Structure 1
């Protein structure tokens, strides 16, 4: 039995359901790949072979009985370590929670399990998912397999690295300020943040202020639609890809939004110009997009973000084990009064309306995903000055949180690559759509993918050579 290591999630599930591939053999191949490259990659907080092989055996047994195991039948699909799974490590990227084990399974993880997926492990994340880099204390940083000196981004850095290296075709991820799209750009894969409320976290979680969206990171738009159909059933995103998006009016901007100090790298502006030209060739109307809002309006996000950090229930004795960034966020969050928090939520709601007015008539807006190519490990992190660290993160990611504040769907696509310092690197571009119009966003993403396909994994050889 020959298993294609570059097979899509759709292809794996089809072949497993047809009895052409054994889910157990697919799981073993994925686990072996993870064990081989992870000493360099830092993608996994934990590998879970026993659970994976048990799940895969159950899938094979269902196929043997003539039953359909589900749309993700036998597909290796790791869970981000910020998401609780009963009986698996649940450390949330924090040294303060080493040894913690999940006591229940989050609803989003359960949907993936029920669809027949195979949990090969928990992917690495930074402490509680706050930073835009994945450098958890006491563990390897997650790096991009395109250049292992550079970080995989955050907070779904481990998920993106696992997909980009070919270990898996799809991985669970989440996005509260860019945490799917940032690593998707750094690792050259597809990262979609769903519209607010599309993917429910109930009953095991609550949506809170609505900034965080659960989703997946994949190598193809079709696999993203597959994952979204499992997480938000009944919407038919996969079926929607069979149709084109029609002629769209797409705004274009390379002006940073949440920062007045961000320096945008020429490779990022060039990537947007290239993709804008491709979209025009596909028949879309390309126009200049106004800036979504002034940078100072982002303060509402800051107040809600820091309050979220402060509200994490932790015993007092572990506070000293937190990273300086998390401690700094928690201190600031405790200074936000209830009235200030309420005002911040109201400001976010007003901002959503104002952006809708500014972008009225636009079906999507094209921007860079990041202001610069993948950052070197440690280049952004600054434990001695968390405020400077936070400011550097903002300058590196001056567009992504716009979609979180407004609830809009947004997708980073690995359409462009650039040679920098003798290394080819992925340069993500981002399309942000209209609230609730995820299908249209996926359709145009699929359309440009078909016209300008990208490498399914990072260039071969470099990672394997360092792992041996």
Structure 2
């Protein structure tokens, strides 16, 4: 049994823990062994904390209520989050040697849910790019092809899950940063509705873009982790920011396990970037979309083609907010030279913005949020490609020309950022493999607060396609 624990779903592992057939320490030791064996190839973890993980596992077994939603399950903190006494590099030379003396709220919530951190999963510099290749660590690679990147910014989290170094992992998503790497690594990634996860709600971020959510191999495991992430704030039940219907305190795991319902689905290949960038959908991305459409049609769902109305305000407004978000990076004077070229350009551009330009961009994105929700309102969910291209080769992005770099990111993943702007939930599902074994996925966009429908649809598709049984070459 011990040699096969990583083959089990997170939910199956949780059940073993509940029955006492496996202890938190045994599970931690198993995954630490996996990390030691596989991380040198994949680069998913930038920091591993074995002693702290063993101590935490013993503490969970001794004093954390077994009813805690993530009791005894291992995970990794994204390296954009602070955990007390653990290095927090934020993917940057700027913060080399930084060890925080307090933990972020999302970290405390995961602890309160009974989970056990094994260390830090890799992220690009300050989480800005859609790929995880930095100057401070080896690139994070998809375990399906080590010449290709895992995506970003939650690239380390997705690669760790896909290679069996973790049963699941939390991430954050400000423009696709959960869904992009999940698609590139052949796993499930869920961006919740704005406000769904109290300690990673998005309400405190510029434009309300950045929310926390789960990455997992199965839809059920994603729901399990989501329930754990939103269940508590520092050990107390807190639904101040929850978007669920009043009086509805049910968890999402039942919806994912049951996978019930028939829905009206839109199918869309347009994006918010189409006016400003040349977007070409790779045949493998189209094949993945077709496979999902055929499967949903066979399951009895209504299918209807749809398209977005072009909006010339979106691209300049989003780019302005992207720059403005970098302006607060704590680099001054000579310290700016420690930043990567893309990040430095963003910082300098962001600091040059005026108040009128920033407020105008925020107003434009608020108007776009309303427009997008209205355009999609006749559907229970809308299906798009997850990525427009196959996972990108390591070194594919232009490291020096920031504007070209941004264009490359848009062309790779045009379908994600508009959901951060609108606050809508979205899930990526690994429905397809190319002829050379690369994962390709689709994205389902939900109604406001519509995670349950996305999980139910995902569970139906998972049962029909069976992606949870696939294993990458690095496993």
Deviation of 1:202 after TM superposition, in Å, equals: 7.2
Conserved 8 A contact 2:194-2:203: no
Match among 295, 319, 323 for residue 340 of structure 2: 323
Within 2, Cα distance between the matches of 1:183 and 1:204? Answer: 19
Conserved 8 A contact 1:27-1:53: yes
Partner SS, residue 27 of structure 1: helix
CA distance change for structure 1 residues 72 and 329 in 2, over 3 Å: closer, same or farther? same
Deviation of 1:297 after TM superposition, in Å, equals: 2.0
Match among 287, 303, 312 for residue 304 of structure 2: 287
Match among 140, 143, 156 for residue 142 of structure 1: 140
Deviation of 1:94 after TM superposition, in Å, equals: 0.4
Deviation of 1:144 after TM superposition, in Å, equals: 0.3
Unaligned runs of 5+ in 2: 232-248
Deviation of 1:203 after TM superposition, in Å, equals: 11
Question: For residues 204-283 of structure 1, what are the structure 2 equivalents within 5 Å?
Answer: 206-233=204-231, 234-259=249-274, 260-283=277-300
Conserved 8 A contact 2:368-2:422: yes
Conserved 8 A contact 2:269-2:307: no
Deviation of 1:60 after TM superposition, in Å, equals: 2.5
Deviation of 1:79 after TM superposition, in Å, equals: 0.7
Deviation of 1:315 after TM superposition, in Å, equals: 4.2
Within 2, Cα distance between the matches of 1:204 and 1:427? Answer: 28
Question: For residues 127-166 of structure 1, what are the structure 2 equivalents within 5 Å?
Answer: 127-166=125-164
Cα deviation, 1:397-443, whole Å, max 9, x if unaligned, reads 11111111111000000111111xxx301001100111111111111
Give 2:354's aligned residue: 337
Deviation of 1:245 after TM superposition, in Å, equals: 4.7
Question: For residues 370-381 of structure 1, what are the structure 2 equivalents within 5 Å?
Answer: 370-380=387-397
Deviates more, 1:9-18 or 1:170-179: 9-18
RMSD of the TM alignment (CA)?
1.9
Deviation of 1:393 after TM superposition, in Å, equals: 0.7
Conserved 8 A contact 2:273-2:315: yes
CA distance change for structure 1 residues 60 and 201 in 2, over 3 Å: closer, same or farther? closer
Give 1:7's aligned residue: 8
Partner SS, residue 379 of structure 2: coil
Match among 399, 402, 423 for residue 415 of structure 2: 399
Cα deviation, 1:434-461, whole Å, max 9, x if unaligned, reads 11111111111111112221045633xx
Cα deviation, 1:66-121, whole Å, max 9, x if unaligned, reads x5162212111001000111111111000111111122111111111111111111
Q: TM-score, normalised by structure 1?
A: 0.93
Question: For residues 18-57 of structure 1, what are the structure 2 equivalents within 5 Å?
Answer: 18-57=19-58
Unaligned runs of 5+ in 1: none
Conserved 8 A contact 1:164-1:456: no
Within 1, Cα distance between the matches of 2:355 and 2:429? Answer: 39
Is 1:442 matched with 2:443?
no
Is 1:197 matched with 2:191?
no
Within 2, Cα distance between the matches of 1:102 and 1:314? Answer: 17
Conserved 8 A contact 2:201-2:212: no
Match among 170, 173, 195 for residue 172 of structure 1: 170
Deviates more, 1:198-207 or 1:338-347: 198-207
Conserved 8 A contact 2:190-2:213: yes
How many pairs were matched up? 455
Conserved 8 A contact 2:192-2:424: yes
Conserved 8 A contact 2:202-2:208: no
Conserved 8 A contact 1:77-1:120: yes
Match among 400, 404, 416 for residue 432 of structure 2: 416
Displaced runs of 4+ in structure 1, greater than 4 A? 202-205, 242-245
Within 1, Cα distance between the matches of 2:448 and 2:120? Answer: 31
Partner SS, residue 232 of structure 1: helix
Within 2, Cα distance between the matches of 1:268 and 1:160? Answer: 19
CA distance change for structure 1 residues 314 and 457 in 2, over 3 Å: closer, same or farther? farther
Conserved 8 A contact 2:426-2:446: yes
Deviation of 1:147 after TM superposition, in Å, equals: 0.2
CA distance change for structure 1 residues 392 and 202 in 2, over 3 Å: closer, same or farther? closer
Deviation of 1:126 after TM superposition, in Å, equals: 0.4
Give 2:69's aligned residue: 71
Deviation of 1:176 after TM superposition, in Å, equals: 0.3
Conserved 8 A contact 1:150-1:374: yes
Within 1, Cα distance between the matches of 2:148 and 2:72? Answer: 32
Conserved 8 A contact 1:219-1:457: no
Cα deviation, 1:271-327, whole Å, max 9, x if unaligned, reads 101100111111111001112543652221111111000122334342101000101
CA distance change for structure 1 residues 79 and 29 in 2, over 3 Å: closer, same or farther? same
CA distance change for structure 1 residues 417 and 292 in 2, over 3 Å: closer, same or farther? farther
Q: TM-score, normalised by structure 2?
A: 0.92
